[in-house]
Amino acid sequence: MNNKMLNPTRQMLIDKYIEALERDEIPFECGWYSYDAPQNAITGRKYNGINAMLLSYIAYDIKLEGNRWCTFSQIADKEGKYHPNEKWHLKKGSQSVPVEYWYVYNTTDKKKYSIQEYNKAIKEGKYTENDFVWRVRTYNVFHESCIEGIQPPEKYRPEVQIDRLDVIDRLITNMNVKYEEQGDRAYYSPKYDKVVIPPYNHFKSEYDYCSTQLHELCHATGHNTRLNRNLLNEFGSEEYAREEMRAEISSSMLSAELGIPVSEANTENHMSYVQSWIAVLKNDPNELFRAIKDAEDIIDYVEEKGEIKKEIDEPNLNNDDYELEI
């Protein structure tokens, strides 16, 4: 495997995903729960991107209860600023998970900047992008089940009730994509910019119907009038499998956000890509991280066009303050 330059977080995610694929499990579909996404036990900030995917999959894989994680220094809390009324202790033999933390370093004044400070400095013209470099560090975090003395959260956020059919109808309209229900096959045609799926009564449930719509609409975001990905790939090729990986990651995460569980039919439909995905990831592990980045762009686009955030009363979870990312 070509694994040069992978930090511990990325190496673990690649290893876990390839292991899952080799036992015919599709890891992109596992561990996503919109109301129970991994978050820091002290700050309440949700982890995102690669960190979220790794922590979610670890929790799913070994069946951990709860979604809170924190570093050893947050557990020890020697200064008493994190949990002054509670004494936490790390259980003997606890295993940590590495998460990556990106920050911006100013090469002119030799200081670390938060994302907010970086954006402000660029906007005000005080510095240019050439004055900054992006750097990454790895931190080890422990699941709440490893901590003695930690109290249950005040409340777990209830699952959000959303009219999925309404959201997807709005998404189709706002994407300005052609849409038709006919036949017995679901696909997106880049040539005609058209999504085609079987009629509603061909599906076992509303969940299956909506997850199929989402998957094909995620493909449609790649049209050159939208996010402009290469969609003209031959079926069965590695390039086709790469696009399928992007659609599967993004649609799985969006399905979780809309409260749509993974269906058996959806998993069966994508088993044909397993060997291609294994080959792609073993040959070029960084392809997974490019796929995750593209999937995040797809999710942002779909959330905007489907006006999903209007349906969810959710706090601002951007990790702009670098001190709160871990």
Regarding beta strands 147-148 and 89-90, do their DSSP bridges make them parallel or antiparallel, or are they unpaired? antiparallel
Residue in 245, 317, 258 with CA at minimum distance from that of residue 21: 245
Give the span between the Cα atoms of 227 and 246, in whole angstroms: 12
Residues in the chain: 326
Give the span between the Cα atoms of 199 and 209, in whole angstroms: 9
Burial of 137 (0-12, 13-18, 19+ CB in 10 A): exposed
pLDDT one digit per residue (tens) for the chain, 326 residues:
555 578 999 999 999 999 999 999 888 877 655 557 899 999 999 898 899 999 999 999 999 999 999 999 999 999 999 999 999 999 999 999 999 998 899 999 999 998 889 999 999 999 999 999 999 999 999 999 999 999 998 765 555 578 999 999 999 999 999 999 999 999 999 999 999 999 999 999 999 999 999 999 999 999 999 999 999 988 888 899 999 999 999 999 898 888 888 777 667 777 888 999 999 999 999 999 999 999 999 999 999 999 987 766 544 434 443 344 46
Give the span between the Cα atoms of 164 and 170, in whole angstroms: 10
Neighbours of 135 (CB within 10 A): 11
3-class SS of residue 68: strand
Contact between 266 and 29 under an 8 Å Cβ cutoff? The reply is: yes
Regarding beta strands 68-71 and 39-40, do their DSSP bridges make them parallel or antiparallel, or are they unpaired? parallel
